[in-house]
Structure 1
Amino acid sequence: MEDIVNSIRLSPRHVLRVFFQTCSAVAHLHSQTPPIIHRDLKVENLLLTTGGSIKLCDFGSATTEHVAPDHSWTATERGLADDEIQQNTTPMYRSPEMIDLYSNHPICEMADIWALGCLLYKLCYREHPFEDSAKLRILSANYKLPSDDTTHLMFHSIIRACLQVNPADRPTVDSIVAQLYAMADKMRENLDQPSTELLTLTNSAPHTSNAPPTITQEVDLQTDEGNPSQVHAALHSTGQQAQKLFGIVKGGAGNLFKKLKDSSSTVVHQVANATQGSKRPSLDIAYITSRILGQFVRMYNNLCTESHCT
């Protein structure tokens, strides 16, 4: 998900769905007894599955322990708590109470709510509200929402509510989910049903002699079109073809290009056949395996041109 967020600006509908599924996962954690604090919510820990769902990952920092510093705490106790926090959290996503233990604010699941505010800002604007991880800016919640933005204006109230210095002033994740449902009603979006909208990712980096070709990738946030079993089978076969190519490279390059041409042609036909009968005219998905195959094919064609081979 990180590559998509960093490459394109998500539409409000996509932001709504990604953030809703993330909050749903956090709500499940916070509903446990005792509540589980993830402590490392960030876009890098959101995975987009082949089925279009958002999965929250990396629970290595999760804990059920609540830290409640008070005036009786010694400098040693605060130092030990601070060391543990630094080992298990990402600086730019740390809440104010994590940075300043002398504030004596409890460190609980409300720290995840602060991180959700940072995450929502990132989904909307492709940058972090505290990109430089400056402690003073985090401690005073000193960030700026684009004043000229109207596209993602609906999310501003949630961002502001989450990024409150005092954790007691932040909303619960359940109340955030309720707000997202209300937004979905206004947008006539059913968050409990799969989406048929496509998320299109285009790598439009300037072309140079050493730059990779432009790649267009379509990703369903959840799709009900086509025949998933046939598509997955074709993509699985694509992976097998890629493994065969790597085996050829390891064993020797003597007949690499001859086998490459045959293998790549087979893959193209398999993917094309898998999409026949689909509502879409073609399948425009660039996975890592197909990228590798494409680059090898171009290299083969270039060599053929230089040597005038057929």
Structure 2
Amino acid sequence: MIPSAFDYAAPTTVEEALSLLAGADASGDDVKLLAGGQSLIPVMKLRMADPSLVVDLGRVAGLSGITDDGGSLTIGAMTPHHTVATDSLVMAHAPLLAQAAQTVADPQVRHRGTIGGALVHADPAGDMPAPVLALDATFNITGTNGTRSVAAADFFQGYFTTAVEEGEILTSITVPKYTGWGSHYEKFTRVAQQWSIVAVAAAIRVEGGTIAEARLGLTNMSSVPLRAASTEAALAGCELREDAIAAACAHAADGTEPASDLNGDAAYRRHLATVMARRAVLAAVGLHGLKG
């Protein structure tokens, strides 16, 4: 199929983009923002989205790139996945994001798709929401009244729903530095380049031969990304032994509400979460155990 006819605008500033959004809202027109287009274009072709105006953010200055802010990194919302996956600052200070970005779809999608577009799309099976949640990122959202910051824990609000309101644009994501932490993104799919059936994002700080702090994000275990709070608590102070880590990760699915679909029922996903959590933590701390 092909999309319905629509008007197209390509602003060069955030202010111009916001003006277009405000004008469309005032006239009652349905408007969609176009980032990399890897999510929007397919649903427009299926006419699941039928906007009268598409505002392309690709020419807006200042929405792409990664900067070092001292204690954190700021990633422009229009930064492609490939850049996140290969950037030296990200790999040094937030390697979990780079590892997750490396698993997104295929090279073509990673070069066109953007981190901001993926996060605002908020697909529960998407690979970027859980890592930014695990890392306590902050989302910087700009509207006509200025810019506001929203914590990752409050950003994802339901299936394909975020804190970005009508007439607003996600402009950047601020990620605290986790220099020296071990990390790993463990993803389970049946075929290559598939959406995650279940995935676990793990960032681990080791001190004196034990796990001092653990952060685990869960992909596709609810309508929004979740923190594996029970496992994080159980890992704190845990010795670097496979049996101890496995026992802590047995709680990874606590409090989750995974969906049942053709890829597996809820019970299957809960089991996968414990397996993926164990694998992710073992890899993050350098104990690459058995793959069972």
Q: TM-score, normalised by structure 2?
A: 0.25
Q: TM-score, normalised by structure 1?
A: 0.24
Bigger radius of gyration among the two = 1
More helix by share: 1
